[in-house]
Each structure stands twice: as C-alpha cells, then as structure tokens.
Structure 1
Amino acid sequence: MAFNGTYELESQENFEPFMKSFGIPDDVIEKVKDIKRVTKIEQNGDHFVISVTTGDSVLRNEFTIGQESEMNSVTGQKNKTTVNLVDGKLVVDMNGIDSVTEISGDLLINVMTLNDIVYKSVSQRVA
C-alpha cells in the first residue's frame, strides 16, 4: 500500500490523557491541542521519510521497513526501533508506545497505545 502524500489532521481522540501520561504540563497540552498538524509521507519502496509539522515544530523520522533506525518520539526522545509492515500497516513499538498507522481511502489513521491509554488520530489527504 502506498503511503505517499500530505495529510492534515481531521480528528483525534484521547490527546490530552495521552500527552499527560508523558508528564507534559496542562498549559502546553492546551496550547498545542488545536494547532493544525500536517503529516507528509515520502515512500520509496520500503524506505520512508515522515515529517509531522505542528505549528513551528517539525518531527522528522526516516526509516526502512525491517531495519533498526533511530527515531524521535512524540516527547522528543531518540529511540532505536524497527518499523514493520504488517497487513499493510506500519507497526512499531517505540519505548513502550505501540503505534499502528494505516491508510483507508484518503485517510491516514494512527493509533498509539501506552499502557491503557489509546490515542487515535485521523488525517485527511490534502495532496
């Protein structure tokens, strides 16, 4: 499945509890929760570059399916991990956070689970 494209956040569930679980202060969560977020995915075979822009902040990760890579987490920590492709979905465990990303039509759906907190974001393809 081709992930190439640019996607704009359409909806999210459990953002605040998920961010609080990392110790992010309430004022910071409140400030960023409604900021436009754009995800750009460049896929060339098994090689991916994913850039997530939130306001002025850009989180960029580059990896090849099945190979260990150093990646930045949502908290800014660098972790060595391996992204796998399972049933057409990008699956990774990064420092205890299970992440599954899939394409459904023009939607990019990401579900991240930490302990019993499940965060889901849905982004619409814009390009």
Structure 2
Amino acid sequence: MAFSGKYEVESEKNYEEFVKQVGLPRTEIDKGHNFKITEVQQDGQNFTWIQHYPGGQSITNKFTIGKECEMEAIGGKKFKVTVQMEGGKVLVNVPNYHQTSEIVGDKLVEISTIRGVSYERVSKRLA
C-alpha cells in the first residue's frame, strides 16, 4: 500500500512555534526534536502509525479510515477522531487541529496546523 514503509525525518519547518501553540512543556518539545523515525503499516483502510523516539520510546496509533478511534499525541494527550482519506491524503480533523499526511514520490509529507500555526515535516523512505 502507498503509505507502508519506514521513514526518517529529513526536514522540518516551524516546529518550535507549532509546539508552543500546542502548549507542550520543554521536555516534550525536546523529545519531539529528537524524533526521527516513523513506521507505517497499511492494510487497505487499516493503519498502524508508529513514531519512534530515542531511548526506545514510541507512540503507536491504530486506525481505520472512516471509523472513530482514540489517538495519542506527543505529551501523552489522547483524543477521539475519525480519520478520513481524500485524494490519497490521510486527514485528521479535530477542533483547533488539522493534519494531512501524504506520499510525494518517496517521501512522507505531514502538515499539522493548530490555531493557525502550521508545522511541516518531510521524511524520506528508508524501507
């Protein structure tokens, strides 16, 4: 499937301003800076999305397109969402937060927006 693979962060734009809008403490902001690997397993409409952090920590979110699920964000915040897919993009929309993830060539491009502040992360496919 299009999203399946292991990706390493290649570039980021506007991380600090974005996480300040989220309201994360400095320790969680630094943890996010050290984030490097995303692993995605896609089986049709079913996804497992894993973010690996240094020190063996990870966040795993499992979801099915069009069905409500609970997700965890950096900092341990949990929220309910129904993930959608539109035009090949995975979309997460909750009040005050919007994220799109798409494959562009061999890269995973993720754009998150909270209260008008956007953050872009581009990761290259490793496997």
- Tell me whether the two structures share a fold, i.e. TM-score over 0.5: yes
SS at match of 2:17: helix
| Distance in 2 (alpha carbons) for counterparts of 1:27 and 1:72 | 17
8 Å Cα contact 1:22/1:75 also seen in 2: no
| Distance in 2 (alpha carbons) for counterparts of 1:36 and 1:115 | 23
Structure 2: where are the runs of 5+ without partners? none
| Distance in 1 (alpha carbons) for counterparts of 2:75 and 2:33 | 18
| Distance in 1 (alpha carbons) for counterparts of 2:92 and 2:6 | 21
8 Å Cα contact 2:32/2:74 also seen in 1: no
What letter matches 2:126 in structure 1? Answer: V
Query: Aligned-pair distance for 1:88?
Result: 0.4
Match of 2:67 in 1: 67
1:88-103 to structure 2, matched below 5 A, reads: 88-103=88-103
Match of 1:39 in 2: 38
Identity rate of aligned residues, in percent? 37
SS at match of 1:66: coil
| RMSD over equivalenced CA pairs, Å | 1.6
Q: TM-score, normalised by structure 2?
A: 0.90
Query: Aligned-pair distance for 1:23?
Result: 2.1
Decide whether aligned partners of structure 1 residues 101 and 120 sit closer, same or farther in structure 2, where only a CA change above 3 A counts: same
1:8-67 CA-to-partner distances (Å, cap 9, x unmatched) read 0000011111111122234653x3354241000000010000000121321110000000
Q: TM-score, normalised by structure 1?
A: 0.90
Match of 2:9 in 1: 9
Structure 1: where are the runs of 5+ without partners? none
8 Å Cα contact 2:5/2:41 also seen in 1: yes
| Distance in 1 (alpha carbons) for counterparts of 2:94 and 2:78 | 9
Length, aligned pairs only:
126
8 Å Cα contact 2:18/2:119 also seen in 1: yes
Decide whether aligned partners of structure 1 residues 113 and 23 sit closer, same or farther in structure 2, where only a CA change above 3 A counts: same
